[in-house]
């Protein structure tokens, strides 16, 4: 008797929970499911992205959206767990959303690509497009490439090439230090390959992998790097692994240039602090000083407006490109049918708000656009996170320089 009462309670709880899970949305909007960590220790990743996306979407919607409809972002917290991202995907397809978007973690990206492929093959009447806004494993647009996956960030190989191309002539000895998992191992491999190809004069004096997120004191690594005589440290590290590494280097007063891929993300500037003046570089798609540097007052005013609303910097110009691409593709397709949108997106070209042109390559659905290397220093127009230091563009790598070949064999749907 008690137990049956309990099971009845359980049904009730489930029903209540799922009613909450399916909130009602305004009709006639184009819904984009967005899934990233929004809670827990890495909540800042999803939170910073979401705030910038909403800022961009408000702008795009006030300028007409697409086909007269507005975009609507529906966030799902995936807690950095692939299984939760897949539950979010189910939720999105239940509500016939045409897009699911995810930025953080190639493990989750790989899970989503596979799941979207299978879902679209098994449910031809209810397809969905996966918009990748930051999972960078090169494999995702090579071996694992999919017609339903569009990547709007440079992949690891492209970032590595940008990094190598940005190395000044006087640097001839570099040290590599990366996190020991797919991403870090790819950075290590690709950077070495591009050094051999583009800068044979550079000698790799050290090459290190560290367990992800386990090292609490980087001083011994700095000692080792110092002993190797390296002039530059090339790293793909992110989060504490990057912050602590750079801090330890600055503390030890070692004369090094740090080339990173993620120092410009939210929280990086504060963590590095004033000691990083002129030492830290980051491979980036955008920084707030590009607009004043190239004299684009409109873009400058637009990013400045974001700063007045939020306590951190705007770094996600790439997201604006994404939504503008989506709007253009929907207008071109004349429909919100995912298959038509996906076809319209292939080889679509678009001029972003800074005036640079980028293209969604048909062969592998990898965006090809210009990339920048910024240096963290004093005396820039817009500083980062009230540190007094900000990112100044040191090198601009045009799109044609990083248009790398792909091994993708794209399978397009018949219908």
- Considering only residues 161 to 200 of the shown chain, the ones binding another protein according to CB under 8 A are 180-183, 185
| Closer of 207 and 293 to another protein (Cβ) | 207
Long-range contacts of 293-296 (CB under 8 A, 24+ apart): 293/392, 293/393, 294/354, 294/355, 296/353, 296/354, 296/355
- Binding to another protein by residue 378, rule CB under 8 A? no
**Closest C-alpha among 88, 93, 64, 63 to residue 75:** 88
Instruction: Enumerate residues 113-152 that contact another protein by CB under 8 A.
Output: 114-115, 118, 122, 126, 137, 139, 144
Q: Does 208 bind another protein (CB under 8 A)?
A: yes
Q: Applying CB under 8 A, which part among 15-23, 328-336, 339-347, 406-414 lies near another protein? A: 15-23
Establish if 79 lies at the interface with another protein (CB under 8 A): yes
User: Can residue 76 be called a binding residue for another protein (CB under 8 A)?
Assistant: yes
Phi, psi angle pair for 77, to nearest 5° = -80, 120
Binding-site size, another protein (CB under 8 A): 103
Closest separation in Å from C-beta 177 to another protein: 10
Query: Among 6, 26, 297, 415, which residue interacts with another protein (rule: CB under 8 A)?
Result: 6
Q: Taking CB under 8 A as the rule, does residue 213 contact another protein?
A: yes
Nearer to another protein, 34 or 356 (CB): 34
Q: How far apart are CA 393 and CA 282, in angstroms?
A: 10
Q: Which two tokens stand for residue 90?
A: 């189910």
Q: Are 88 and 32 in contact, with CB atoms under 8 Å apart?
A: no
Q: What span, in angstroms and rounded, lies between the C-alpha atoms of 287 and 283?
A: 10
**How near is the Cβ of 325 to another protein at its closest, in Å?**
22
Q: Work out whether 415 is an interface residue with another protein (CB under 8 A).
A: no
Smallest separation (angstroms) from another protein to the CB of 365:
17
- Stretch of residues binding another protein (CB under 8 A), selected from 266-274, 285-293, 317-325, 335-343: 266-274
6/297 with CB nearer another protein: 6
Q: Would you count residue 65 as binding another protein (CB under 8 A)?
A: no
**Which CB, 334 or 388, lies closer to another protein?**
388
Q: Which of residues 345-374 bind another protein (CB under 8 A)?
A: none
Nearer to another protein, 25 or 203 (CB): 25
209 binds another protein (CB under 8 A): yes
Is there binding between residue 231 and another protein (CB under 8 A)?
no
- Residue 80 interacts with another protein (CB under 8 A): yes or no: yes
Q: In the range 87-106, which residues lie near another protein by CB under 8 A?
A: 87, 90-91, 93-94, 105-106
Cα gap 395→63, rounded to integer Å: 33
Torsion of CA 258, 241, 55, 326, to 10 degrees: 90
Find out whether 92 and 33 touch, Cβ atoms under 8 Å.
yes
Taking the C-alpha atoms of residue 283 and residue 285, their distance in angstroms, rounded to an integer, is 7
Whole-Å CA distances, 242 to 191, 213, 226, 249, 259: 17, 10, 17, 11, 11
Closest CA to 276 of 296, 295, 249: 249
Q: Does 315 help bind another protein (rule: CB under 8 A)?
A: no
Tell the smallest beta-carbon distance from residue 68 to another protein (Å).
22
Number of Cβ atoms within 10 Å of the Cβ of 362: 14
Q: Report how far residue 142's alpha carbon sits from residue 280's, in angstroms, rounded to the nearest whole number.
A: 31
CB 328 within 8 A of CB 357: no
In DSSP notation, 122-139 reads H-TTS--EEEESS---GG
Candidate segments 63-71, 110-118, 159-167, 398-406, binder of another protein by CB under 8 A: 110-118
Q: Site for another protein (CB under 8 A): which residue of 204, 205, 231, 267?
A: 267
């Amino acid at each position: 008797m008690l137990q049956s009462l309990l099971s009845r309670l359980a049904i009730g709880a489930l029903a209540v929970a799922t009613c909450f899970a399916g909130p009602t949305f305004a009709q006639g909007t184009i819904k984009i499911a967005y899934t990233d960590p929004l809670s827990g220790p890495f909540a800042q990743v999803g939170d910073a992205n979401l705030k910038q996306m909403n800022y961009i979407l408000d702008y795009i919607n006030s300028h007409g959206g697409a086909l007269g409809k507005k975009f609507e972002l529906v966030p799902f917290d995936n807690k950095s767990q692939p299984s939760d991202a897949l539950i979010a995907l189910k939720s999105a397809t239940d509500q016939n959303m045409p897009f699911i978007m995810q930025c953080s973690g190639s493990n989750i990206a790989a899970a989503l690509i596979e799941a979207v492929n299978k879902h679209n093959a098994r449910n031809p009447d209810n397809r969905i497009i996966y918009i990748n806004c930051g999972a960078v494993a090169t494999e995702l647009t090579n071996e694992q490439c999919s017609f339903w996956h569009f990547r709007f960030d440079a992949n690891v190989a492209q970032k590595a090439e940008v990094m190598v191309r940005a190395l000044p002539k006087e640097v001839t000895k570099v040290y590599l230090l990366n996190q020991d998992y797919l991403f870090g191992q790819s950075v290590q491999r690709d950077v070495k390959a591009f050094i051999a190809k583009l800068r044979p004069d550079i000698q790799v004096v050290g090459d290190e992998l560290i367990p992800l997120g386990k090292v609490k004191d980087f001083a011994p690594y700095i000692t080792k790097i110092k002993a190797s005589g390296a002039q530059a440290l090339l790293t793909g590290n992110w989060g504490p692994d990057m912050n602590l590494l750079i801090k330890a280097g600055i503390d030890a007063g070692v004369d090094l240039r740090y080339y990173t891929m993620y120092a410009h993300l939210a929280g990086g500037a504060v963590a590095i602090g004033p000691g990083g003046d002129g030492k830290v570089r980051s491979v980036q798609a955008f920084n707030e000083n590009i607009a004043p540097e190239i004299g684009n007052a409109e873009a400058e005013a637009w990013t400045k407006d974001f700063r007045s609303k939020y306590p951190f910097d705007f770094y996600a110009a790439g997201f604006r490109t994404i939504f503008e691409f989506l709007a253009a593709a929907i207008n071109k397709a004349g429909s919100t049918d995912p298959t038509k949108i996906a076809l319209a997106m292939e080889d679509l070209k678009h001029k972003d708000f800074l005036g640079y042109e980028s293209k969604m390559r048909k062969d592998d659905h990898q965006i090809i656009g210009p990339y920048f290397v910024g240096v963290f220093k004093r005396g820039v127009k817009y500083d980062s996170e009230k540190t007094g230091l900000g990112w100044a563009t040191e090198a601009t790598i045009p799109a044609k320089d990083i248009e790398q070949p792909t091994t993708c064999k794209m399978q397009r749907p018949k219908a």
